[in-house]
Structure 1
Amino acid sequence: MSAPLYLRIRNELEARIRSGELPPGARLPTEAELQEAHGIGRATAQRVLHELAQAGLVERHRRRGTFVADGVRQENLLRFVNPRLAGPEIPGRHEVHSAAVVRAAEVTPPVDGLPDDTPVNHLVRRKFDLQDNPLAIEYATVPFALAPRLLDADLAHLTMIPYFREHGVPIATSRMYLDPVLLDEPTAELLACEPGTPILRQRRLTWLENGELAESAAYLMRPGLLELYIEQSVRDD
């Protein structure tokens, strides 16, 4: 089954941005130009440009047009805790730096709410941008008893909350914390930053219906390559 037309047009423009054919600052076709070139309606043209902007690939300016962004990507903070909130993924590759079953006492960052001897799945993954710069690092810890086959999954693209739902794990609530921290040497090396660099760490805790911990995750974004935002409707209806 072929992809929807709007997605094929978006992917074509994204590929031209990735290849450098459309460099930072280059102007993209207007909605009218997209309509004429592809025989599509205005709503479809708007969706193409809107999703490119959501992914941080382009910037849209009223009356001026749409231009390739200068390398900064955007990420909606709500997507970390709301499994129902979908959106375009940030382009770039994923890497599993390490994946192992260890004692809870051995994981980084430390996990509250689990006895030290609890066996846990511990994942360390990195996200890269289109220029292959380290963009973010993720630490995820899940009790082994909840997901004994977790390490058999496609770990590079694994998303934990959908995984829990798919495997019948009765998760109930999720909470995010934002902590300003200074990068330690191992993490700074993974992010290609200087140790001691100030950074915003996002921590997500997810609990089961019985109140026990299901997952502890931490995300660290490399400064200067990612903009974090929260978007919500302010309409009355």
Structure 2
Amino acid sequence: MNLHQAKLDIVEAGRRVYERGFVASNDGNISCRIEEDRILTTPTGMSKGFLKVEDLCITDMDGTLVSGQKRPSSEIGMHIFLYRERPDVRAVVHAHPPTATGFAVAGVPLTMCVLPEVIITLGAIPIVEYGTPGGPEISEPIRQYVKDYDAYLLENHGATTIGADVMNAYYKMETLEHFAKILFVAQQLGGYNELNAEQVEKLVAIRNRMGLRGPDPACDIPDAPTTQPTTNGGIPTIRTLSAGEQAGAETSQDDLIAEITRRVMEELK
């Protein structure tokens, strides 16, 4: 990979994550695997919105600094873990996009079958169990997901995306946060419609024709059409009502209408 272009891409991605509010202060980190044993990464303790190419540093696959004037990101270990586990990955973006991180804090994975573009380009986004940032604890919980997923919500922390190059990994972060925002708005409006198995299958076929990789299944396909919003830990979701629940709901509604009618008639006597 061209070193100069990789540096420009990291600086640009850093500017974008900062300007879009995906990070605050000195949060977040971005890296690119420029050689099999060399990682270009953002430094620790610097705002990603104001990076210059000379601020970036290069480490080996053990995280040891080999070039640059600044210390590498404290979370370089997570990046190296992802590169070791996924040889096809050439870039990693870690940020704290507010809406997606809200889902991570609430314990709600972004695995719903809702948006065609997300199913095709990214697929489900699981929640990874919490690990202390900056150390090996943050990496190990990702292991069970790393082979199948390109985006992860980090419990009580943020989000990480991986890709074929820096901008590819960055765009996945954009998609993740965009999906979270749309889903959050839909929940505030009472719930969301989920695509059925046949609809998802067609989208996966498109994904395959485009040569894109993604998890299988691409999302959590609902068992049946959903009809009534409910709540899950204070977060509105949609679920399928059983036949008994549907009958009970209809009976309850009829009884309520009958009772209201009776009382109105009594008042009119």
* Fold match (TM-score > 0.5): no
Query: Normalising by the residue count of structure 2, what TM-score does the alignment of the two structures yield?
Result: 0.28
Structure with the bigger percentage of strand: 1
Structure with the bigger percentage of helix: 2
